[in-house]
Amino acid sequence: MANPNAASGVYLIKPEKATKPFKAFCEKREDGGWTVFQRRNGKGEDGKPVTFRKFWDDYKRGFGHTAHEHWLGLDRIYALSQQTGKVCQLRVDMMNCKEETGYALYGTFKIDNEREFYQLHLGNFTGNAGDAFRGEEESGDQTGCSFSTYDKDNDGCEICVRGGQAFSSCARDLYGSGWWFSNCGMANLNGDWHPKEECEGWLAGVYWETWDYVNSLLFSEIKVKCTAL
């Protein structure tokens, strides 16, 4: 969001590494403007949940509507996070079934290009929701991990173990969604969305497990802010 004084809304932007301009939701906050690249709230453009059980090309291009539930697209996230002379921060806002709010903030953020499978890089964490990207065990650390989808397995384990069960692929056999899976790990905000009355006990939900281990989240939003070095 180039103009921090602009109102929140959908804008046409073009980071230097983007091949063409694209629309993105820019959020005005007290600490400046943030560009949203993921939103989960069960409300797509038609008022229904958007499925995140998508293939590699879908996650590459993006899907949903930027004013509603959506994924902006890995190529666009790469372009946002790799701007010359700028450093980017990542913020995750979330709400659980009790309608409590949490957040995670990372001091630096970038992903690599498709040749490197959009590998994830994160800096220091602050926030009240815990650092689910790094998790509680080294095998679950998602920093440095490549992006995986149902049809392209790049996770960090040949045999992945989750809840005492073994899987050959976190994306294909467990969640169905795309994410930076390690040995699956404690974060997956692209899992199946469930309404408040059905949010407990799902294996393939919207999870940030350092904050709420049991329930699928009602809301998540991932956003990036880039400022001059």
Which pLDDT score is estimated for 165? 80
Q: Which domain holds residue 86?
A: 9-145+189-228
Question: Does 206 map to a domain?
Answer: yes
Which pLDDT score is estimated for 181? 95
Question: Does 210 map to a domain?
Answer: yes
pTM beyond 0.85: yes
For residue 37, is pLDDT > 70?
yes
Cα separation of 134 and 73, whole Å?
A: 23
Cα separation of 198 and 206, whole Å?
A: 12
Cα separation of 63 and 75, whole Å?
A: 12
- Per-residue pLDDT band for 79 (boundaries 50, 70, 90) equals very high
Question: Does 158 map to a domain?
Answer: no
Least confident of 21-30, 64-73, 114-123, 149-158: 149-158
- Tens of pLDDT along 151-183? 999 987 888 877 778 888 989 988 899 999 998
Question: Does 178 map to a domain?
Answer: no
CATH number of domain containing 52: 3.90.215.10
Question: Does 162 map to a domain?
Answer: no
Question: Does 1 map to a domain?
Answer: no
* Number of Cβ atoms within 10 Å of the Cβ of 166: 10
CA 175 vs CA 50, 136, 184: distances in Å: 15, 20, 9
How many domains is the chain partitioned into structurally?
1
Cα separation of 157 and 111, whole Å?
A: 20
Question: Does 175 map to a domain?
Answer: no
Tell me which of 71 and 165 has the higher pLDDT: 71
- Residues 82-106 have a mean pLDDT of 97
